[in-house]
Every structure is written in C-alpha cells, then in structure tokens.
Amino acid sequence: MQPLAGRVAIVTGAGRGLGRAYARALAAAGARVVVNDVGCGLDGRGADTGVAAAVVEEIRAAGGEATPSLEPVGTVAAGEAIVRTALEAFGRLDVLVNNAGITASHPIEAFPEDAWARIVAVHLTGTFACARAAFATMRTAGRRGRILNTTSGAGLDHVYPGTAAYAAAKGGVVSLTRVIAAEGAPHGITCNAIAPLARTRMSTAFLGAEEEEPTALDPAALGPLVVYLASEASAGVSGAVFTFRRGRIGIGRLDVREEIAPRDAGWTLDELHARLPMLLGPAG
C-alpha cells in the first residue's frame, strides 16, 4: 500500500525546483496534491499560471490526483484560501509543505525596504499564514497532521553577504517550526523543517553552477525524506531541522556553546575582554 494513500497534501512553491519534486514525490506515494505556485520571478514579481498547471498535468499523467492553487503566499487570507482549495477539491488536509520562496541580493546599507518586505512576507509570513490555517483545520478534524517548513543553511550556519532578508526569514522559520511542534504535540500534529541543498534557480543565483555529478544536487533526491516526514511513520519526529546536502542527512542546530563561569558580582570590561575571545574560539 502507498504510504500516503488517502491523504491530501499542499505544497507551496510547487511549480519548479524543490517544490515540484516534493509534489511529484507525494503524489507518487498516494497523496492528492494541491500544487500552489503563482509563477513569479526569483524576486517575487510577475506571475505565470502555467507553472502550477504544468506540474498538475505531470502528476495526472503519472496517474495521480492534483489541483492547482494560484494564491501568492504571504498573508493570512492567502493561507486560508490555499487550505480552502484543498478542502474544496479533496475534502480534507493532512500534509502542508511550506516551500515557496523568493530572493534578492543587496548590501545591508542599501537593502530596499520593498525587497525586504517581499522576501520576509513569502518566507516567514507565508510559512506562518499557511501553517496557521492548516493547523486549525487539522486540529478541528482530529487529524494527525504533518507540517514541513523550509529553512536554509543561510538561517543556520552559513553566511552569504547580501542575503539579509532571506537569512533573517529562514532563521525565523527555524524558531517558528519549534513553536508549532510544541503546540501540535497534544494533538498529534508534527512540524519539522528541512534545510535543503539542491540545484534550483535560487541556489544557482546564490552559489552559481556547481560542478557536480548530475544527480548530486537533483531536487528529486529529497523526495523520500519529505514523504517520510509526511507519513504516519514519522509520528515521533517533531521540532527537528534536517539538513540535506549531497545525499547526506543531518540535524541542524543552533546550540549554546560552553558558558564561561558566572560572576556573582557582575563582569568588568577588562574581564569580558579577556574571557569572551576564549568563549568564541579561534577566529577564522
């Protein structure tokens, strides 16, 4: 039996790259899929309704069930509309994959306010808005739902100059994931995040075309991990951040390092100057 037979999944940003791979993998595992994508450019501008429609047709041609959603994520109203599409088309919702993303690169002193707002709206507010609507639907229906968010090495342990909005939003997604996981635990709703590395138009914009074997950065390689986290088999897994880089799965952490001894009398500037470099470790 297919692991997701009878289940309904939403994938945002499902028209290209990772989202397309996730939607196809979920459908192949038996899920009926809402393919959400406005078809915008990397900077969030423009629209192309054919992007989502093409993935819907691919899924249907392979024997699966899918329907398009053209709502641009980034508002509570949009999140509710996307969830409503799933309920109207398929009658239920079991899985949400928050994948939609845009980007733009600017130095911090010249980062345009409108670009900042667009990027944070899609990555962070969009994740919140869709999770908000999906969580309410899952809890009310008594479903052991699965919410998967997308973060990035830029929000964990990698620094890419020029990506202030993207990195800030992706760091926020990590914290949001953990809060949703805690709130979902009493209801059997899990929430995890994935920090993927794959060859997509966004990663190419960040990193350029990497010299790799054709399959090393194939978005389809993440399909099994997404299907697992969307399935009943992952019931005990929640609040985790999974990294996926060149076929290797890891756990992304933002840990507190070794603490320096407390001072009952407080710290002096000289003591901080002497001790903080020891805490930070070797430079470079």
pLDDT tens digits, residue range 207-237? 554 544 445 577 888 899 999 999 999 999 9
Q: What is the CATH number of the domain that holds 234?
A: 3.40.50.720
Residue 274 included in any domain: no
Residue 268 included in any domain: no
Query: 236 is in which domain, residue-wise?
Result: 8-259
- Residues 6 or more apart whose CB falls under 8 angstroms from that of 255 comprise none
Residue 276 included in any domain: no
Residue 282 included in any domain: no
Residue 196 included in any domain: yes
State yes or no: is 166 an active-site residue.
yes
Determine the average pLDDT of the residues in 55-70. Answer: 98
CA atoms within 13 A on the CB side of 271: 8
Task: Name the domain count of the chain.
Answer: 1
Residue 108 included in any domain: yes
The pLDDT of residue 113: 97
State yes or no: is 228 an active-site residue.
no
Q: Which residue is associated with the tokens 């915008």? A: 40
pLDDT higher than 70, residue 198: no
Cα 180 to Cα 177, 183, 185: the distances in Å are: 5, 5, 9
The pLDDT of residue 92: 98
Determine the average pLDDT of the residues in 194-215. Answer: 58
Q: Which residue in the list 22, 160, 166, 228 is annotated as catalytic?
A: 166
Distance of CA 228 to the CA centre of its chain: 15
Residue 279 included in any domain: no
Higher pLDDT, 264 or 30: 30
The rounded distance, in Å, linking the Cα atoms of 101 and 107 is 20
The rounded distance, in Å, linking the Cα atoms of 36 and 85 is 10
Cα 98 to Cα 81, 86, 146, 148: the distances in Å are: 14, 14, 11, 6
Q: What amino acid occupies position 123?
A: H
pLDDT higher than 70, residue 154: no
Confidence of residue 258 (pLDDT cuts 50, 70, 90): low
pLDDT higher than 80, residue 138: yes
Residue 267 included in any domain: no
Q: What amino acid occupies position 150?
A: T
Determine the average pLDDT of the residues in 125-153. Answer: 97
pLDDT tens digits, residue range 115-130? 999 999 999 999 999 9
Higher pLDDT, 70 or 276: 70
The pLDDT of residue 7: 98
Higher pLDDT, 171 or 247: 171
pTM given for the model? 0.89
pLDDT tens digits, residue range 11-52? 999 999 999 999 999 999 999 999 999 998 877 788 889 999
pLDDT higher than 80, residue 86: yes
Higher pLDDT, 200 or 101: 101
Output DSSP code: residue 125.
I
Q: Which of 209, 189, 190 lies closest to 199, judged by CA?
A: 209
pLDDT tens digits, residue range 268-278? 888 888 888 87
Confidence of residue 109 (pLDDT cuts 50, 70, 90): very high
Q: Which residue is associated with the tokens 């024997």? A: 63
* Burial of 139 from C-beta contacts in 10 A (0-12 / 13-18 / 19+): middle
